[in-house]
Amino acid sequence: MSMTDGPTPLQTAAAEQAAEDREASSKAPGRSSLRPQGKRKSGYFSDRWHALSRQQQWAFLVVVVVLAYMLPLINPPIITTEPGNNFALACFDMARFALIAVGLNIVVGYAGLLDLGYVAFFAVGSYVAAMLTSPDSPYLHIPYLWTLPVAMAVTMFFGVMLGVPTLRLRGDYLAIVTLGFGEIIRILATIIPAMKGQVGFQNVGHPPGDGADGTPIFSNSNGVPWYWLTLTIIIIVTLLVGNLERSRVGRAWIAIREDEDAAEIMGVPTFKYKVWAFAIGAAVGGLSGALFAGQVGFVNNQKFDVTTSILFLAAVVLGGAGNKVGAILGGALVSYIPLRFTAIAEYKYLIFGIALVLIMIFRSQGLLPARQRLLAYGRTALNKVTSRDATETKDMDKPPAGPDARAAGQRGAEA
Amino acid sequence: MLPSLVPLLPTENDWITFDIPSLIQNFWSATFDGLTFGAIYALVALGYTLVYGVLNLINFAHSEVFIVGCYAVFFTLSSLGFGPSAPRLDIWAIILNLLLALVLAMVASAVTAFLLERIAYKPLRQRNAPRLVFLITAIGASFTIQYLIYLWRGPSPELALTMFRPTPIFDVFGTIVDSQQLVIIIAAVIMMVGIDRFISKSRTGRGIRAVAQDPDTATLMGVNKERIIITTFVIGGLLAGAAALFYVMKIPSGVQYSGGFVLGIKAFAAAVLGGIGNVRGALLGGLLLGLIGNYGQILLGNSQWTDVVAFVVLVLVLLLRPEGILGTSLGRSKA
């Protein structure tokens, strides 16, 4: 049997079929979650970004990161939130929201689970930090920085506790259970005496270190060090999440998001990975809560409204669910807009509520759509596919060349 | 061994206490009160259950449909001259006024539900959007309505209105059952039975069940799916409006922009407890949740525990019997 003429018709047929499939899938109405339809509609910026070389990307990233670090020191004139809100503190708030959005993005964006009580995990993290460092609490005291991992562990535990009963079922139940949990945490903080209700915990700890004048570097009024700390944590968390996203876990999450039944049939242990997503998301929420408690220095039951959860959700959805850069951007925006435009701050809940509905109706993929490309194989595979697309028609009649293509041809012949 | 760890465990007096004598003493009054609350939950739960049965969607904005009804009751009654003290009208005038408030609240809630469906959900349905998009839209819509009310009426609750002075009707085991409790429970049960008959006997009810069972087949059989969906939302709205009147009757100070939120979660918990998508399950779940919440509140000694207890019930039901007590869905319930 000759290698040259055997596979050719089959391959042509397969290619035609594939082209038809692609066309069909680009026309088919809304099948995938929250994301644009079709082949390469992942946005202008995304395309530009992937057109750059690796070195250019790194150079660009370094510039962005340096600029981000410098932001509160530069205090750019039009962007600044002053007068009205201290810009460094505003930067910290933006970073806090961005971190929360990165965490919530794991749950909502990757795994497609709707968590409406994310503020509860944030609250748990805050209370852990407060109860372990504040002089108002009678319990064990540990250094502030140690509360960050402890807060993550405790919130993760809560995430598993809440996730195990609900995640066995369809995703809708998770939404209402988390919504309830968000409210319950606040009520529990009110009625359980140990959590001190509205009195709360004062003088929550902060990282060590004193400035030249003897005052702590991480003071409540100075947002800059807190901002830097949070920004560093965001970068670390984003890198880790990026790795997860590209790993088996991330692929499992995306499979679950796209079609849970299909994922289950293909052998993805959906329940396990859903619990993972929920727990990891919760841990990031707890981390940001602990940071918030440290910066504000005071934790009581008034700070954790369930409505704040909806702001978090708006941040993820606005930025683009499933896209971590989008989540950071969305988080920063949701925090920034009310701080910058204080005239509309009063209406922020209304604005973001309407925004949620409008985004869902008109642009469900958000500002920066998630990458729908071949996550599993990364850019090399993508390039192969795109170059083959371009040359497909030309090369159709030629026999496949090169070992890879030969092997592919052989597989085609066997099929 | 680890002395510093000991204070981590809360001592007895700053944790939860169980007040069993108080529960025994107040058992019957807690029961009747619980049934009253349960009847209200059940009416709201029906709205969740019907929409869930037909669209498989948790309509988060249903709690706002309900609170719009509460505002309608408030404005109707205050414009009719009701105030904080009991009105000096004869019984028939009061009944007429309350009926008017009932009708207006039902209309207001039904219109809200209708608009909600048309503006928020219909565009998504036409696009065949995934479930997550529906849920996010639902919560966004809920939020929008809530804060529209907030901007209009401010954060504080409206003036408490007294509709009539509850008079003792009879007593059971030494506990007085008053007219208010009786009115709410009887009226709610009548409505629930009516809805149950409607769903199981009428032509529209058959359509609702058909769409719940299989929308595509139902469409092929000549059921107008869009009309059925609208009808479902409107029925849910009507019942939420009725629940609003009873709620304002029972908790006069509850008319507040955020008032629907917790009640909505409790009503949903009731629907899940009875079996979501099941009309009779909503009644059973509502009454049970009302009782459990009230017992828990007396046992634990703070009225805010009601919400916590309801939530714990929800999680436990999901853990142990996610299909609920009665379990069957709207589609599979018998004709």
**pLDDT at position A379:** 58
Restricting to B residues 164-203, those with a Cβ less than 8 Å away from any Cβ of A are none
DSSP category for residue B119 = I
Could you report the per-residue pLDDT of A123-161, keeping only the tens digit for each?
999 999 888 888 877 777 888 888 899 999 999 999 998
How far apart are alpha carbons A59 and A61 in whole angstroms? Answer: 5
Domain positions in chain A: 87-378
Better-scored residue on pLDDT, A13 or A327: A327
**pLDDT at position A389:** 56
Between B124, B268, B322, which is nearest A176 by CB?
A: B268
Between B129, B140, B150, which is nearest A356 by CB?
A: B140
Cα–Cα separations (whole angstroms), residue A82 to A317, A336, A349, B29: 28, 12, 22, 58
Could you report the per-residue pLDDT of B231-245, keeping only the tens digit for each?
999 999 999 999 999
Query: Are the CB atoms for B48 and B233 separated by under 8 Å?
Result: no
Portion of chain B with pLDDT greater than 90, in percent: 28
**pLDDT at position B25:** 77
Q: Considering only alpha carbons, which residue of chain A is nearest residue B147?
A: A350
How far apart are alpha carbons B87 and B89 in whole angstroms? Answer: 6
How far apart are alpha carbons B198 and B235 in whole angstroms? Answer: 11
**pLDDT at position A385:** 63
Restricting to B residues 126-145, those with a Cβ less than 8 Å away from any Cβ of A are 127-133, 135-137, 139-144
DSSP category for residue A216 = B
Assess whether pLDDT exceeds 50 at residue A315. yes
Top residue of B147, B299, B307 to mutate, by most chain A CBs within 10 Å, is: B147
Between A180, A191, A354, which is nearest B144 by CB?
A: A354
Assess whether pLDDT exceeds 80 at residue A181. yes
* Domain assignment of residue B57, given as a range: 17-320
pLDDT band for A53, please (50, 70, 90 cuts).
confident
How far apart are alpha carbons A279 and A313 in whole angstroms? Answer: 17
Three-state secondary-structure class, residue A201: strand
pLDDT band for A190, please (50, 70, 90 cuts).
confident
Assess whether pLDDT exceeds 90 at residue B215. no
* DSSP secondary structure letters along A120-148: HHHHHHHHHHHHHH-TT--S----HHHHH
Tokens of B247: 């709620």
**Residues of chain A neighbouring B7 (CB-CB closer than 8 A):** 138-140
Query: Are the CB atoms for A114 and A108 separated by under 8 Å?
Result: yes
Better-scored residue on pLDDT, A241 or A211: A241
Tokens of B56: 């498989």
pLDDT band for A397, please (50, 70, 90 cuts).
very low
CA distance A131 to chain B (A): 10
**Residues of chain A neighbouring B314 (CB-CB closer than 8 A):** 176-177, 180
Better-scored residue on pLDDT, A384 or A29: A384
pLDDT band for A121, please (50, 70, 90 cuts).
very high
In total, how many domains does chain B have? 1
Q: Considering only alpha carbons, which residue of chain A is nearest residue B10?
A: A194
CA distance A304 to chain B (A): 15
Cα–Cα separations (whole angstroms), residue B78 to A168, B101, B150, B247: 48, 10, 19, 16
Asked if B304's CB is within 8 angstroms of A191's CB, the reply is yes
Assess whether pLDDT exceeds 90 at residue B65. yes
Torsion sign over Cα B266, B269, B275, B277: positive
Better-scored residue on pLDDT, A41 or A184: A184
Residue B175: what residue type? T
Tell me the pLDDT of chain B averaged across its residues: 84
What is the arithmetic mean of pLDDT over B271-279? 85
CA distance A143 to chain B (A): 14
Name the β-bridge partners of B170: B177
**Residues of chain A neighbouring B60 (CB-CB closer than 8 A):** 175-176, 179
In CATH, A87-378 is 1.10.3470: yes
Q: How many CB pairs under 8 A join A and B?
A: 156
Q: Does B120 touch chain A (CB under 8 A)?
A: yes
Could you report the per-residue pLDDT of A252-268, keeping only the tens digit for each?
998 888 888 889 898 99
**pLDDT at position A387:** 67
Q: Considering only alpha carbons, which residue of chain A is nearest residue B272?
A: A173
**Residues of chain B neighbouring A181 (CB-CB closer than 8 A):** 311
Indicate whether B329 belongs to any domain.
Answer: no
Restricting to B residues 77-106, those with a Cβ less than 8 Å away from any Cβ of A are none
Q: Does B7 touch chain A (CB under 8 A)?
A: yes
pLDDT band for A283, please (50, 70, 90 cuts).
very high
Whichever domain contains B160, its CATH number is 1.10.3470
Is the ipTM reported for this complex over the cut 0.85?
no
pLDDT band for B39, please (50, 70, 90 cuts).
very high
Is the backbone peptide bond immediately before B168 cis, with ω within 30 degrees of 0? no
**pLDDT at position A234:** 93
Among the ranges given (A103-112, B10-19, B125-134), the one the predictor scored with the smallest mean pLDDT? B10-19
Helix H or strand E encompassing B171: strand B168-172
How far apart are alpha carbons A233 and A239 in whole angstroms? Answer: 10
Classify residue B36 by burial, with Cβ atoms within 10 Å: 0-12, 13-18, 19+. buried
Query: Are the CB atoms for A370 and A109 separated by under 8 Å?
Result: yes
Tell me the pLDDT of chain A averaged across its residues: 77
**pLDDT at position A25:** 45
